[in-house]
Amino acid sequence: MTEELKSKHNKNILLVENIYTYFKTESGVVKALDGVSFDIRENESVGIVGESGCGKTVTSRSILRILPKNGETVAGQIFYKGVDLLKLPEHLMRVVRGKEIALLFQDPLSALNPVLSIREQMVDVIKLHRKVNESEAAELAINMMRQVGIPEPEQRIDDYPHQYSGGMRQRILIARALALQPDLLIADEPTTALDVTIQAQVLKIIKDMREKLGLSLMLITHNLGVVSENTDRIHIFYGGRVVESGPTREIFKDPHHPYTIALLESIPAFDRKEKQLKTIPGSVPQLINPPPGCRFHPRCEFATEICKTRPTLEKFSEDRFVACFHVEEVLKSRKSKS
Amino acid sequence: MDSSQENMPQINHDQDLDFFPGTPTGKDKDVVLELRNLRKYFPIKSQSIFLSKVVGQIKAVDGVDLQLLKGEILGLVGESGCGKSTLSKTIVGLEKPTTGEVWYRDINFNKTKDRKSIKTFQRNVQMVFQDPYNSLNPRRLVIDTLKEPLQIHGLAKGNRDEEVYSILKKVGLEDYHAFRYPHEFSGGQRQRIGLARALILKSEVIIADEPVSALDVSVQASILNLMLDLRDEFNISLIFIAHDLSVVKHISDRVAVMYLGKIVEIGPTDKVFDKPAHPYTVSLLSAIPFPDPDIKKKEIILEGDVPSPINLPKGCRFVTRCYKAQERCKEEEPILTEMSENQWAACFFPEMEPVIFFDVKEEQK
């Protein structure tokens, strides 16, 4: 390990270095992740943002090594607390999953077993990872359920998933994930299936629990509002790569990458008066046969010949990284417009 | 009709009700669609094998009065289970209303027996569905899907193909797309086909049920632009149903907020979003996350879930979650009242305060 990496590990809980995850399909190899690098610092809330098919979910699966059978992380390193997860033997990986890194799914119904009571599902998981007996585990589960705001947890723990509403199910999953005291919580679109008022409740719980337990959070979402309000830093994904990363506030105020700019302009903002929304010409790249070089160049107004070679994610200013050859021009044109 | 209506509250709606909550008053208004006290109840049957008995009712839509004006986009918002989709299905006739009437101009769709009137209604009131994947027949070429409405209504005999090409062009697709199957299109393109199918009859009213919620933001933007362009070009009226408030704010001229089968607030978009009256609208606005770090808002997080529409609370239906609830709200049901010009809300203790603040400095004083 290089000195530079070591110093990075001091403040990083997770450091993803240049990972490539490919899927073999009948029509060819899908390059779902094509050299993704990013980091999550201790006690930090980091957003992973991008449109469907950009590799957000594959990233979380690659970190936990729970890819489908046809998928494989073929290169790169994933350091969790300085340990390369890709080299870890499976029996140790099973300790990492849940106990160290917990995963929260998008669809709370399919993440729970419909034929087991909540008690069975919570107690089993807690007993597997922590040295407690049945009644202690149940007590822990009830305590956790109370903390995430489930009324009368002593009675409700014996209910089945279908007896809970969507928001309550997501609370159960949060309680189950946090009962193991993980240090990193990966939340994969945790509120996409929920209504806005329920979404607000769930996000509040995640925030409160994060403060209480000193947890790091990796929040995967396509909802720019959710990341804006709930994260410290964001990494923007496009076509299986990170195109821009930096502090949330700065990126929203002053995006550098042409894709980020286009993405932010395409959302209907509350204070925007003009009726025409900006759109991005073309469509998201096919990852079986992606465009060469910068994945965004066929849709980018700044693209030139050089964009057919691959831009690297480079430091632009303090804490801000952009993968674009034309950052200076992009910023200049933005300035002249405003 | 069945006997279940007997114990229902009856509002005496005259043939020509001279005002509707939320509709701008004025003699020269051109009303294309009118909903009069529309209700849709679904019976709950006891689970006996031999004798099924109705033991209760799900009040999905519970008394909606609404007018839609020519060329207007009316946004309809609410959480899941509030009756948005049932309302849209009831309007187009996919569900039969329990009571109440849907009027298109001078046609009472639910009463008329005249086949010609029914056809006119159906031709002029069309629907665009939420899921562009499931609402197109996967085994049919686009041209056949688009030609079918013309065949049913016996329109454009002889040059139906040309009609299809011209409508495809209007929604931003090319001629050759007509000879493809739905699976060959992306989600955004499929939604364009859905729009083309609704527009090909030159309908006056389009009911769009969450037309953009299955799409990515950049695709969503192009569909929203398209809908606004088409409205300007054809002067159609739209009921735009969505749960995403920023989309509704962007596209609509008026907004109606639904909660448990009833409209709780309705008014011009700017007014409702600037100074919402109903506490439910306030909490909805407070709950949406904004993609702008400089926006500040009142933090009101509602407790609990939407109650089941089977056992509605007595009095105001929002009373179980309302942060302003008083004794009166538990006893008496508020009706839509005018709070400011054309802005109507059903609440005894309306807010009328801004929730969202764009300029943080101003707010901090």
Q: Is B270 on the interface with A (CB under 8 A)?
A: no
CA-CA-CA-CA dihedral for B147, B153, B156, B160, to nearest 10: 10
> Which chain A residue shows the shortest CA-CA distance from B280?
A197
A38 bridge partner residues: A16
Contacts of B231 in chain A (CB under 8 A): none
Angle at A286 between CA A283 and CA A290, to 5 degrees: 110
Q: Which two tokens stand for residue B329?
A: 């709200």
Q: Is A228 on the interface with B (CB under 8 A)?
A: yes
Q: What is the ipTM of this complex?
A: 0.82
> Which chain A residue shows the shortest CA-CA distance from B248?
A268
Edge-to-edge strand order for the sheet containing A83-84?
Answer: A28-41, A12-25, A71-80, A83-84
C-alpha distance from B219 to closest chain A C-alpha (Å): 7
pLDDT in tens, A273-301: 677 888 888 888 888 888 999 999 999 99
pLDDT in tens, A170-183: 999 999 999 999 99
Nearest to B243 among A196, A223, A277 (CB): A196
Give dist(CA B39, CA B100) in Å, integer.
6
Q: Are the C-beta atoms of A199 and A193 separated by less than 8 Å?
A: no
Q: Are the C-beta atoms of B87 and B66 separated by less than 8 Å?
A: no
C-alpha distance from A135 to closest chain B C-alpha (Å): 29
For the purposes of burial, counting CB atoms within 10 Å of the CB of B311, is it exposed (0-12), middle (13-18) or buried (19 or more)?
Answer: exposed
CA-CA-CA-CA dihedral for B21, B27, B28, B32, to nearest 10: 40
Angle at A243 between CA A241 and CA A244, to 5 degrees: 135
End-to-end CA distance of chain B: 60
Contacts of A224 in chain B (CB under 8 A): 217, 291
Q: At what angle do helices A258-266 and A327-337 cross, to 10 degrees?
A: 40
What's this model's pTM, rounded to 2 decimal places? 0.86
pLDDT in tens, B148-168: 999 999 988 889 999 999 999
Least confident of A328-337, B48-57, B208-217: B48-57
CATH architecture of A3-91+222-337: 3-Layer(aba) Sandwich (3.40)
- In degrees and rounded to multiples of 5, residue B310 shows phi and psi of -85, -50
In the DSSP assignment, the letter for residue B33 is E
pLDDT in tens, A144-200: 999 998 888 999 999 999 998 888 899 999 999 999 999 999 999 998 888 888 899
The count of C-alpha atoms lying within 13 angstroms of the C-alpha of A223, restricted to the half-sphere facing its C-beta, is 27
* pLDDT attached to residue A295: 94
Q: Which two tokens stand for residue A42?
A: 């201790």
Q: Is B308 on the interface with A (CB under 8 A)?
A: no
* pLDDT attached to residue B10: 37
- In degrees and rounded to multiples of 5, residue B205 shows phi and psi of -125, 130
Q: If you write DSSP's letter for every residue of B62-117 in order, what string do you get?
A: EEEEEEEETT-EEEEE--TTSSHHHHHHHHHTSS--SEEEEEETTEETTT---HHH
Contacts of A198 in chain B (CB under 8 A): 79, 305
- pLDDT band at residue B4 using 50, 70 and 90 as cut-offs: very low
pLDDT in tens, B70-126: 999 999 998 888 888 899 999 999 999 999 999 998 899 988 899 999 999 999 999
Give dist(CA A48, CA B92) in Å, integer.
41
CB distance A195–B306 less than 8 Å?
A: yes
C-alpha distance from A212 to closest chain B C-alpha (Å): 19
Q: Which amino acid is at A265?
A: E
Establish, for the pair of chains A and B, how many residue pairs have beta carbons separated by less than 8 Å.
117
> Which chain B residue shows the shortest CA-CA distance from A263?
B218
- In degrees and rounded to multiples of 5, residue A153 shows phi and psi of -60, -25
- pLDDT band at residue B56 using 50, 70 and 90 as cut-offs: confident
> Which chain B residue shows the shortest CA-CA distance from A285?
B186
Closest alpha carbon to A313 in A39, A57, A78, A55: A39
Domain boundaries, chain A: 3-91+222-337
Q: Which two tokens stand for residue A240?
A: 């299986």
C-alpha distance from A272 to closest chain B C-alpha (Å): 8
CB distance B245–A196 less than 8 Å?
A: yes
- pLDDT higher than 50, residue B13: no
* pLDDT attached to residue B314: 85
C-alpha distance from A262 to closest chain B C-alpha (Å): 8
